[in-house]
Amino acid sequence: MDSLAIITGKPAFDEPLHVGRPNIGDRDRLTARFNELLDRNWFTNNGPFVQEFEQQVAKFVGVRHCIAMCNATIGLEIAIRAAGLTGEVLVPSYTFIATAHALNWQEITPIFCDIDPETHNIDPNCIEKMITPRTSGIIGVHLWGRPCAIDALSKIAKKHNLTLMFDAAHAFGCSYQGQNIGTFGKAEVFSFHATKFINAFEGGAVVTNDDELAAKTRLMKNFGFAGYDNVTYSGTNGKMTEICAAMGITSIESIDRLIEVSRRNYCAYCDCLREVDGIKLLQYDESEKCNYQYIVLEVDEAIFGVTRDQLVTCLQHENVLARRYFYPGCHNMEPYRSHYPHAGLLLPATDRVAKRVVVLPSGTAVNPEMIGTICNKIALVSTNAATVRSLLKETTTTGTAM
């Protein structure tokens, strides 16, 4: 019976389809750069490729300063310290755990604010009631590459004399009201991790138009060195390597093609899921620049027939490695779960969205034919919801491995 193949039959794909499988630019250009850096024998410490990468990012975004980092988490930590944040900082709980950890590691308390359930970004209407005399700043997160309510956040920050920064890990190549993400607030931090559509194997960057913050950030990412044998600031090792910068430059050269592929995949998902009840596909604003990297669904169990987690189980059996993002929310992870055991009372939208969202594979490893198969499987799960629930209950009861 075809419906049983969802659970017990041969997987739809022989090889796993991952969320965030790395995109690779021009291999020949990348290999040439590898050979160049080997011939040059300069692997780190602000080499030519790092300098070129910083220049390309700054030019693309439209800022005066780009400081490349070994990863975005270190970039956040350094930017937070360079901006002088202390005490408490307001952040969404619905984000990758690094956003909260970057504060907590510096003994700054992340205060979790609820999200707008339509945008999945921090809700400006929930912020002011969370401000205390210890609050020093706000960190907005441009989740899925869709910008925060930047104007509203800016007004609140100005009214209360707070520093406003942004975690822009998802948002390279995106815009807000026609202006590139990366140009807002005191600073913004990009991720160039392997799972991002533009990657540097592993990497990040702080971008800013604040000259003083940029100078501090450059010192802090290199132990505070201001020239040989001259340490003028407390710092750490946040440097990007030459090989990572070479990959970053190669990725940026392919950005138009990568966005085109991501948009093609997004449109294919939109077309294929249009008639599936109980599935809401997160939409991108076509009037803005978007990278279209994330294919984000919300599952309404009452209409779709099974839970988000049950759908994920079915898809994973088909070798479609869908993911629950960002479940269960930072406030439900340690150490925050112990520190704020009742935080969920103030985060109803966060808890609701975290239980409904699933992210599907996209990027250059996926094509429209594959997308059609994935969407057919999703529709089949809903059509045979009663059978799926029964089979999943049976496997849970008997302990059968999936």
Per-residue pLDDT tens over the stretch 205-217 = 999 999 999 999 9
Average pLDDT on 232-247 reads: 95
Report whether pLDDT(6) > 70.
no
Q: Give the whole-angstrom CA distance, residue 311 versus residue 20.
A: 19
Phi and psi at 297, nearest 5°, equal -110, 150
Name the band, by pLDDT with cuts 50, 70 and 90, for residue 392: confident
- 201 with 23: CB under 8 angstroms? no
For residue 136, give the H/E element and its range. strand 135-141
Alpha-carbon distances of 69 from 76, 121, 184, 192, 330, rounded to whole Å: 10, 25, 19, 9, 24
- 330 with 95: CB under 8 angstroms? yes
Q: Is 205 helix (H, G, I), strand (E, B) or coil?
A: strand
- Compute the radius of gyration of the chain from its Cα atoms: 22
Q: Is 194 helix (H, G, I), strand (E, B) or coil?
A: coil
Average pLDDT on 96-125 reads: 97
Query: Which amino acid makes up residue 55?
Result: Q
- 76 with 167: CB under 8 angstroms? yes
Query: Which amino acid makes up residue 53?
Result: F
Give CATH for domain 27-253: 3.40.640.10
Average pLDDT on 296-321 reads: 96
Q: Which residue has the higher pLDDT, 135 or 387?
A: 135
- 67 with 39: CB under 8 angstroms? no
Contacts 24+ apart (CB under 8 A), 336-345: 336/100, 336/104, 336/110, 336/112, 340/112, 343/93, 343/112
Question: In the predicted model, what is the mean pLDDT of the chain?
Answer: 94
pLDDT recorded at residue 396: 55
pLDDT recorded at residue 400: 41
Alpha-carbon distances of 360 from 253, 269, 398, rounded to whole Å: 26, 9, 29
Q: Is 234 helix (H, G, I), strand (E, B) or coil?
A: coil
Per-residue pLDDT tens over the stretch 63-80 = 999 999 999 999 999 999
Question: CATH topology for 2-6+255-398?
Answer: Aspartate Aminotransferase, domain 1 (3.90.1150)
Q: Which residue has the higher pLDDT, 399 or 366?
A: 366
Report whether pLDDT(397) > 90.
no
Question: Range with the lowest mean pLDDT among 7-11, 216-220, 243-247, 327-331?
Answer: 7-11
pLDDT recorded at residue 228: 86
Q: Give the whole-angstrom CA distance, residue 55 versus residue 46.
A: 12
Phi and psi at 313, nearest 5°, equal -60, -45
Phi and psi at 358, nearest 5°, equal -135, 140
What are the structure tokens assigned to 144, written together?
Answer: 């899925």
Say what percent of the chain tops pLDDT 70: 96
Report whether pLDDT(119) > 80.
yes
Per-residue pLDDT tens over the stretch 142-197 = 999 999 999 999 999 999 999 999 999 999 999 999 999 999 999 999 999 999 99
pLDDT recorded at residue 7: 56
pLDDT recorded at residue 393: 79
Say what percent of the chain tops pLDDT 90: 90
Question: Range with the lowest mean pLDDT among 226-240, 321-335, 340-354, 384-398?
Answer: 384-398
- 295 with 269: CB under 8 angstroms? yes
Report whether pLDDT(399) > 90.
no
The domain locations on the chain are 2-6+255-398, 27-253
Report whether pLDDT(48) > 50.
yes
Among candidate residues 134, 121, 113, the one with its CA nearest the CA of residue 167? 121
pLDDT recorded at residue 391: 85
Per-residue pLDDT tens over the stretch 341-385 = 999 999 999 999 999 999 999 999 999 999 999 999 999 999 999
